[in-house]
Amino acid sequence: MTEPRDAQTTSVTTPINALGRMALRVIDDLGAIAIFLLKSLFLIFRPKQIPLIVQQVYYIGARSATIVMLVGLFTGMVLGLQLYYTLVQFGSAGVLGSAVGLSLVRELGPVMTAIMITARAGSSMTTEIGIQRISEQIDALTTMRIDPVRFLVSPRLAASVISFPLLTAFFDLIGILGGFFTGVILLGLDAGTYFYRVRTSIEMQDITGGFAKAVVFAVIVSTICCFQGFFTHLRKDSYGAKAVGLSTTSAVVLSCVMILISDYVVTSFLL
């Protein structure tokens, strides 16, 4: 015979139940997103994907180049400014080039590039796919026997993997020039010293490490953003246009958080 529940038991079990439900939901979502990612990866290598991938490389990569280079320039400039005044206290202004170069190539380049592309292209992915979902365009693809994951998601994933490292390279390059502008042009450091330090301190493994991070961020951002848009219609907290808005917000926030978490994880493997 079951004993009647009392208020004390309920007050203890209710939060545990809620925690349990939340944990199950998180595990469920992680599983769903993993399957979504695997399916998208697999479908990259199907026929007729090249034109779609090229189109997405243009939207995600080429059209993000300006903002990435702009942010890279000012990131390099502010790094040059801050690090100069810090290093000069220790009589080490001469290593400015190393500090700026390594900071950009190892960390700031991949992370800032990923965050900027998330803000620009990632949000656009979620919104576009979300609107296609609520206006039945994705259902229309299914009725035309076109796999919506193959047609919408896989090209974006492939294009992100191509674009992120390239844009990271642009960011690093422009950022180093930004540091040059503040350190050398504005603050009077020797140009030769600056570039000598940049060249000698950055090793190939720093560059490949940065690109490896860029590839990881590409997969994370495109998967999260496409997933949020693709399953907008399953949201329980809202419907229609509002659901698309909330999905976009979730996609950007989650992507940025995951970029930073995965940055730590990858860095710990690389070092």
Partner 1 sequence: MRQGFPTGVRVMATSMGPLIEFRKVTKRFDNRTVLDAVDLEIHEGEVSTIIGKSGSGKSVLLKHIIGLLQPDQGTIRFEGKDIAAMTRIEWDAYTRQISYMFQNNALFDSMSIFENVALPLRQGTRLGKREIEQRVRKRLEQLELGDVMAKYPSEISGGMQKRVALARALVTDPKIVLFDEPTTGQDPIRKNAILGMIAEYHRKFEFTAVLISHEIPDVYFISNRILALYDGKIVFQGSPEDFESFDHPFRDEFVRSLEGLQEELTGLYSRRHFKVRYQTDLARKKPHEEYVAVLFSIEDMDAIIANLGHDAAQEIIRSLGTYINKHFGEVGGFSARQTINEIGTVLPFSDLEEAERILEDFIVDLKDQGFCNVYPCAEPGRCFEFKIMAGLSQGKPQVELESIMEFARFNQQEIARFQCELRRIAIDA
Q: Tell me which residues touch partner 1 (CB under 8 A).
A: 48, 128, 131-132, 135-137, 139-140, 142-146, 151
Nearer to partner 1, 131 or 166 (CB): 131
Nearer to partner 1, 64 or 113 (CB): 64
Taking the complex as a whole, the smallest distance from the CB of residue 176 to partner 1 amounts, in Å, to 37
Taking the complex as a whole, the smallest distance from the CB of residue 234 to partner 1 amounts, in Å, to 13
Q: Write out the two tokens for 89.
A: 């206290």
Nearer to partner 1, 151 or 196 (CB): 151
CA dist 101 → 83, 121, 215 (Å): 11, 27, 20
Taking the complex as a whole, the smallest distance from the CB of residue 133 to partner 1 amounts, in Å, to 11
**Neighbour count for residue 245 (Cβ, 10 Å):** 15
Task: Please give the helix or strand (H or E) that residue 246 lies within, else none.
Answer: helix 240-270
Taking the complex as a whole, the smallest distance from the CB of residue 46 to partner 1 amounts, in Å, to 11
Letter string b/e over residues 17-38, b meaning 16 or more CB atoms within 10 A of that residue's CB: eeeeeeeeeeeeeeeebeebbe
Taking the complex as a whole, the smallest distance from the CB of residue 157 to partner 1 amounts, in Å, to 18
Nearer to partner 1, 94 or 245 (CB): 245
Phi, psi for residue 189 in degrees, rounded to 5:
-70, 155
Nearer to partner 1, 142 or 249 (CB): 142
Are the CB atoms for 171 and 214 separated by under 8 Å?
no
